Amino acid sequence: MGNSLNKSSKSQAKQPVQTPKESCKDSGKCAGKCKVGRGNMDEASPSQASTTVPESVQTDKPVVVETLKKEVVVLPADEVVVVSTDETAVMPADKTVLGAADETAVISADEAPVLPADEMVVVTTDDAVIPVTSETIVVATDEPVVITTNESKDSSAPALQELSIANQKLKLNSADDVAEYVATIKANPGLKTVKLNGNTLGVDASKALAEALAGCDSIEEFYLNDCFTGRMKEEVHVAVEAFGQVLKNKSTLRVVDYSDNAFGPVGAKAAAVLLSEATGLQELILNNNGLGPEGGKIIAQSLLNCQKLNIDAGKQSSLRRVEIGRNRLENGSSALMGEAFKSHGLLKEIALPQNGIRPEGIAELSNGIAANPTLIQLNLQDNTFTSTGSQAFARALKQLKSLKVLNIGDCLLGSDGCEMVITSLASSQCPIELLNLQYNEMDEQGLEHLTKNLHEFTSLKVLMLNGNCFNPTGTAADALKEALQTEQRADILDNWSDMEFYSEDEESDAETQEPLDDDNEDDDEKEDLADEIARMNIAKTD
3-state SS track over 82-142: ECCCCCCCEECCCCCCCCCCCCEEECCCCCCCEEEHHHCEEECCCCCEEECCCCCCCEECC
Q: Is the dihedral of CA 496, 500, 502, 506 positive or negative?
A: positive
Rounded to an integer, the average pLDDT of 113-136 is 46
Give dist(CA 236, CA 227) in Å, integer: 9
DSSP, residue by residue, 316-337: -----EEE--SS--TTTTHHHH
Q: What is the mean pLDDT of the chain?
A: 78
Task: Round to whole Å and give the CA distance between 379 and 461.
Answer: 17
Contact 284, 275 (CB under 8 A): yes
Spatial separation of the C-alpha atoms in residues 29 and 273, rounded to whole Å = 61
Range of lowest pLDDT (346-360, 429-443, 493-507): 493-507
Is residue 20's pLDDT more than 60? Answer: no
Q: Select the more confidently predicted residue: 202 or 25.
A: 202
What pLDDT is recorded for position 158? Answer: 77
Q: What is the pLDDT of residue 414?
A: 98
Average pLDDT score over residue span 491-508: 83
User: Which of the four pLDDT bands, split at 50, 70 and 90, describes residue 57?
Assistant: very low
Mean pLDDT along residues 469-473: 98
Q: Pick the closest to residue 111 from 231, 245, 240, 5 (CA basis).
A: 5
Could you give the angle at the alpha carbon of 86 between the alpha carbons of 80 and 92, nearest 5°?
Answer: 20
Provide CATH 3.80.10.10 ranges for the chain: 219-231+249-492
Residues 6+ positions from 486 with CB-CB distance below 8 Å = none
Whole-structure pTM value: 0.68
pLDDT (mean) for 272-290:
99
Binning pLDDT at 50, 70 and 90, where does residue 531 land? low
- CA distances (Å), origin 309, targets 306, 315, 343, 372, 415: 5, 8, 12, 19, 44
The Cα–Cα gap between 143 and 57 comes to 6
In single-letter form, the type of residue at position 381 comes to Q
Please report, rounded to a whole number, the percentage of residues in the chain having pLDDT higher than 70. 64
For the segment 382-399, what is each residue's pLDDT rounded down to a tens digit?
999 999 999 999 999 999
Distance, CA of 93 to CA of 230 (rounded, Å): 58
Q: Report in angstroms the alpha-carbon separations of 142 from 79, 111, 127, 346.
A: 8, 25, 24, 61
- pLDDT mean over 64-81: 38
Lowest-confidence pick of 17-31, 271-285, 329-343, 401-415: 17-31
Give residues with Cβ within 8 angstroms of 124, minimum separation 6. Answer: 84, 86, 89, 130
The CATH fold assigned to 219-231+249-492 is: 3.80.10
Q: How far is CA 420 from CA 69, 396, 468, 510, 534, in A?
A: 76, 11, 16, 31, 52
Calculate the alpha carbon distances from 388 to 229, 409, 418, 447 in Å.
Answer: 40, 17, 12, 20
Report residue 485's pLDDT band, with 50, 70 and 90 as the boundaries.
very high
What's the rounded Cα separation, in Å, for the pair 284 and 427?
31
Tens of pLDDT, residues 294-335? 999 999 999 999 999 999 999 999 999 999 999 999 999 999
- Model confidence at 538, in pLDDT bands (50, 70, 90)? very low
Over residues 37-46, mean pLDDT? 39
Phi/psi at 121 (5° precision): -135, 155
Pairing of β 200-201 and β 255-257? unpaired
pLDDT of 219 above 90: yes
Give the largest Cα separation in the chain, rounded.
116
Span 440-451, pLDDT tens digits: 999 999 999 999
Average confidence (pLDDT) over 159-169:
97
Residue 38 has pLDDT above 50, yes or no: no
Highest average pLDDT, of 56-60, 83-87, 460-464, comes from 460-464
- Which CA distances in Å does 434 have to 403, 404, 405, 494, 502? 10, 6, 5, 11, 28
Contact by Cβ (8 Å): 362, 335 = no
Residue 21 has pLDDT above 60, yes or no: no
Confidence band for 53, pLDDT divided at 50, 70 and 90: very low
Q: Which residues contact 25 (CB under 8 A, 6 or more apart)?
A: 34
Q: Which of 350, 348, 396, 340 is nearest to 374 (CA)?
A: 348
Greater model confidence, 161 or 126: 161
> Which one is predicted more confidently, 355 or 130?
355
Torsions phi, psi of 284, nearest 5?
A: -120, 125
Q: What is the pLDDT of residue 506?
A: 60
CA dist., res. 421 & res. 101, Å (int)? 76
pLDDT of 159 reads 87
- The contacts found for 71-74 with CB under 8 angstroms, 24 or more apart, are 71/101, 72/32, 72/47, 72/48, 72/99, 72/100, 72/101, 72/105, 73/98, 73/99, 73/100, 73/145, 73/147, 74/28, 74/31, 74/32, 74/37, 74/98, 74/99
pLDDT of residue 104: 38
